[in-house]
Amino acid sequence: MSSAKFPIIGIGASAGGIDAFHAFFNHMPPDCGMALVTILHLPADRKSMLSGILSRWTTMPVVDAGDGMQIKPNHVYVPQPHAMVSVLDGSLRIEMRTFIKRTT
């Protein structure tokens, strides 16, 4: 639950959905009054470059999201791939998932 006085919006896409992010940020004003948390599905062995990409499409600050980070309006937050993200008292809660390789 969030105590923020502004909307916190989660936006997700598959790895092929980067064009949808581009279209979204082309139409999103930088003074929208919302915090945007972006999630991009990537394979476990891929490093995300989403922060750098999004920063080319918006003048809002694009921040690599960290656990306990206070959420601010007119900011874009990018958690690491495979993170479990929630909001508590106006702060991001980020828990990294672990993967077990199966051998069959």
57 has a pLDDT exceeding 90:
yes
Rounded distance, CA 63 to CA 73, Å? 12
Rounded distance, CA 67 to CA 50, Å? 18
Rounded distance, CA 3 to CA 89, Å? 5
Q: Could you give all domains of the chain from N- to C-terminal order, each with its CATH number?
A: 8-96 (3.40.50.180)
Rounded distance, CA 78 to CA 96, Å? 13
- pLDDT tens for 1-25 read 556 689 999 999 987 888 999 999 9
- pLDDT tens for 23-54 read 999 999 999 999 999 998 877 677 788 999 99
Model pTM?
0.86
Mean pLDDT score across all residues of the chain: 88
